[in-house]
Structure 1
């Protein structure tokens, strides 16, 4: 399937320099309603979501992947590290609107994964006229519930790993090899259970390691200790404003445990919830074929 990539200017005067959003289109935007894909993080580029582009060939659904500002192939702003007034949810909502306008898209479906699901749900509650269907893939509904679920899963780790995490956190050693190794044990169980780590995910994490500006400013040092811009975020009181058919996806071993996803299911009018029994947070990598079938069927319904 032919692909087209490029950059769209994104005017943000407070950035202090010109900014651009990198995008990649799979399929023909004029042939069918496209699916726009929002990656997680914040600040973890799109590479790990690349397999979703298969929808362009399996279901003839054009797919738009892009890197949000501050990561991947889009403009990086390391000089804005720690600038909570700059790195806001609204910044990324404006970037999404700019992408939709810039690509001349009038009708579209939206898939957001993890942090990307925060953006997708915030976009949807505004009831944009072009949005037709919404997919919330391993979505937080509030960061309070997210952190509670992460810490519940943490207690399922081997005792020595739990002790290592606690010891490093007490000493503020978030950048130590010991802490990273212990977090990796959590990730192997509750982020992506496919081993060795899929190349797409390894590429995303390698890119994150080179520039943690967005992640550290908006999230904080770890999944267990969210101290950044989004620490108090919730959409539970506004979910009922989403007026489009919505597909919820999570995995049995997911960081987005049922307790995190349930508020969407309870408050949406037109909703389907599919759980992937062999997956954690990356069903698109852990159960690739089923993921494409489920998403494709929902978008074509």
Structure 2
């Protein structure tokens, strides 16, 4: 398996297409979580057929990268994953010419990276990402309250009892996920693969996020990139779904504060429009990439 060294650890990556000096910039895909894997974003590799190489990677602690289940929660920081991204770009020789596509947490990470104005960044895609976790939590409470009668109360009972690791909590949680995370039934194989990878080793997810998408009690609970957004100086495509857990209120700061941003909402999608409306998503993405030149 191809990996690059990241200090004492290894970051797994996959390149679809050819990385060539002077060619079109590769699209570097940052997965969500934190604590997920690249699998659910693999269909983006089709961009290579249109001339843009695609780089997928698994962030440290997940997938085929080094797992560190015994690390304490304080090890897992935003700066760690920013450094890992910088290292990957340098090791692959892509740091001088690349596009970032970040999904969910990966979109926030990409925004923080872009705000530093790295000279090789040509464009940014922020997909289904909140601009802050306080906004995310406020909107999650609203979405939970609108679930079928009794669901939110059952979720709260488990959260207060500390039984969020049980099958019962997972079963109730699905009402939220099926409405606001992935509306395809059954879940697509690639989405399920990432979900199960995170379930099998939830070290990073539990430390930084918490036991579920809507019960964020980890280190990211107060994190925001709102203050970074005016510093982003590359063309930026913002994408979200009409039924997304990353609601319009959580996404709007990107449109309002990034100087060169435009926002597209996919009407039949929730949190994974690249799977729920793949043709529309990929068309928007290809048009954006062509505009970059």
Structure 1 residue 161: deviation in Å?
1.7
| 1:37-61, Cα deviation, whole Å (9 max, x unpaired) | 000000100100001111111x211
Find 1:78's aligned residue among 56, 62, 69. 69
Structure 1 residue 224: deviation in Å?
2.6
Structure 1 residue 280: deviation in Å?
0.1
Aligned-residue Cα RMSD (Å) equals: 1.0
| 1:101-130, Cα deviation, whole Å (9 max, x unpaired) | 000112000000001011100100100000
Structure 1 residue 238: deviation in Å?
2.2
Count of matched residue positions in the alignment of Structure 1 and Structure 2: 288
CA distance in 2, matches of 1:238, 1:67: 25
Asked if residue 300 in structure 1 is aligned to residue 293 in structure 2, the reply is no
CA distance in 2, matches of 1:10, 1:161: 43
CA distance in 1, matches of 2:242, 2:231: 28
Residues 82-161 of structure 1: matches in 2 within 5 Å? 82-84=72-74, 86-105=75-94, 106-161=96-151
| 1:233-285, Cα deviation, whole Å (9 max, x unpaired) | 11112210000000000000001101001111111111110000000000011
Q: Structure 1 length as normaliser, TM-score?
A: 0.94
| Paired residues of 1:83 and 1:217 also in contact (CA < 8 A) | yes
Asked if residue 51 in structure 1 is aligned to residue 25 in structure 2, the reply is no
Asked if residue 65 in structure 1 is aligned to residue 56 in structure 2, the reply is yes
Asked if residue 190 in structure 1 is aligned to residue 180 in structure 2, the reply is yes
| Paired residues of 2:60 and 2:66 also in contact (CA < 8 A) | yes
Secondary structure of 2:11's match?
strand
Q: Structure 2 length as normaliser, TM-score?
A: 0.96
CA distance in 1, matches of 2:211, 2:31: 19
Gaps of 5+ in 2: none
